[in-house]
Structure 1
Amino acid sequence: MTTTATHLRTCALHWADLHESIGQPNILTGFGRGLRGYLAALDDAEQQEARLYQAAHLRTLERDPMQLGDRPTPVRLHILDTMRAVEAALHDTADHSASAVQRPPMPFAPSNWPAADRERRNQLARADMADPRRWRWTGRRRPVPYTALWLLARVEGKGGPFRTLTVVEVEQIGATAAGAAARIEQALDIAAQRRTLEQRHECGGRIDVHGGEGRAPVAHCTGCGRIWAEGVIAA
């Protein structure tokens, strides 16, 4: 549960960071990007991916020639894709969880009750229906920080018109939270990462790339021991 809570807090706390970085220039020292120039000959697929990314980016800048005004600020597509994926995953999980654990609102009093009792009951029913802790299916997605914290409250068993989550339900929320947090951390380059390239070095060894947390990435061949870094190639 602690790990799930940490992941949900990561989603809530770093959502504003994603918004701020969506229009910023790409930082080439992020994990797996700064080494592209050095590993291009070893990983042609990455080059192709970069070209496709650039083409997609340019398409977002297309506009009607008659349109007036300044050209919009280019967006970082991988940040935008991350935000869309995280928003959809958390919102869908909250929808599913609420449908299972949220208690229906208290019914209003029957019309044949005494007037005073009926009014007291109806006041309680209206308050229960308007409880801000309720998850509402409005057709409009709530902000990601709200959704993440709503799921966190359910995982931690906070009060409200809900029953306690089962172990399976907690695990389902945990899986979604872990995936969402990993996407955010990777997009913002705030977590240590390691990746093994599919294509091997000419010696036959695997190439591991280490980076993240704002550090320049470093590649290491597990066969011959060769190292690639920013501007440095060591045998």
Structure 2
Amino acid sequence: MTTTATQLQTIATLWPDLDNALGDRTQHAWPPPQLRSYLDALSHHDPTDAAALRALERSPDQLGTRPVPVNLRIMDTMRAVEAALHETADQIASARQDPDDTFRNHPHRWHFTGTRPGAAWTALWLSARAEGRFWPGRALTEPQERHLGHVAREALHRVETALDLAHGTRELSPNHTCQCGGRIVITGGAGDQPTARCRSCGAWWTERGVVAA
């Protein structure tokens, strides 16, 4: 099984988790929930900066802080991924699918009209194309394989990030620096212990407090 096929199958497997998370109305700007306790650790090193970061996260200007009927972050991810998968399937079918009516009712035929299949089904359809399984069409060209691989990687990254399954690193804006003036980098996700580190003085915080300063 190719890496692309595996990634697409993983998207299909994780899609029900996105559906479940869609009803979670708790909206979070960066950092994800597992990293939020780093703010408490920062307060031991620089209370002013920690307070500023908390204020930023609670600002009504942040999309995720407003009470909404669904989790907009999850919804945006689902829409973007589904659109990318549909567009890719359309492109592949348009270029490689046999137009012969003999295969019109073939179960693996991609249909451009009628109700669009869901993202999970589309991901599995694309996975089958990546594996070269039989369908009423020709095998993908190398450029098409590369494009499908890129779409699969980006889509899976979006899904894993939305579900906080991906490892992430983010440098805070210049408005929120260490007391030495250095930029702060936060890292975590994918089960890793969340940390925050100053690029200049090397101060390092974890959920348990300041490790080094």
TM-score range, shorter-chain basis?
0.7 to 0.9
Match of 2:9 in 1: 9
Which of the two has higher C-alpha Rg? 1
| Cα separation, 1, equivalents of 2:27 and 2:189 | 12
List alignment gaps of at least 5 residues for structure 2. Answer: 43-48
Work out the CA distance in 1 between the residues paired with 2:152 and 2:145: 10
2:158 pairs with 1:183: yes
Q: Name the CA distance, whole Å, in 1 between partners of 2:63 and 2:27.
A: 15
> Aligned-pair distance for 1:13?
0.5
User: After alignment, is 152-161 or 1-10 more displaced?
Assistant: 1-10
Among candidates 10, 13, 30, match of residue 33 of structure 2: 30
Deviations 1:19-59 (A, max 9, x none): 1111135387635544456465676995377643246x43x
d(CA) in 2 for partners of 1:159, 1:49: 53
Q: Distance in 1 between matches of 2:61 and 2:36?
A: 13
Is 1:105 matched with 2:100? Answer: yes
Instruction: Please say if 1:151 is aligned against 2:126.
Output: yes
1:164 and 1:216 map into 2 onto residues whose CA distance is 44
Q: What residue identity is the alignment partner of 2:164?
A: D
Distance 2:34 2:145 in 1: 31
Tell me the percent identity: 43
For the aligned residues, what is the CA RMSD?
Answer: 2.8
Shift of 1:75: 1.7
* TM-score of the superposed pair, with normalisation by structure 2: 0.80
Query: Is 1:167 aligned to residue 142 of structure 2?
Result: yes
Secondary structure at 2:197's aligned position in 1?
strand
Residue 78 of structure 2 is matched in structure 1 by 83
Number of residue pairs aligned between Structure 1 and Structure 2: 200
What are the equivalent positions in structure 2 for 1:201-220 lying under 5 Å apart?
A: 201-215=178-192, 217-220=194-197
> Aligned to 2:91, which of 89, 92, 96?
96
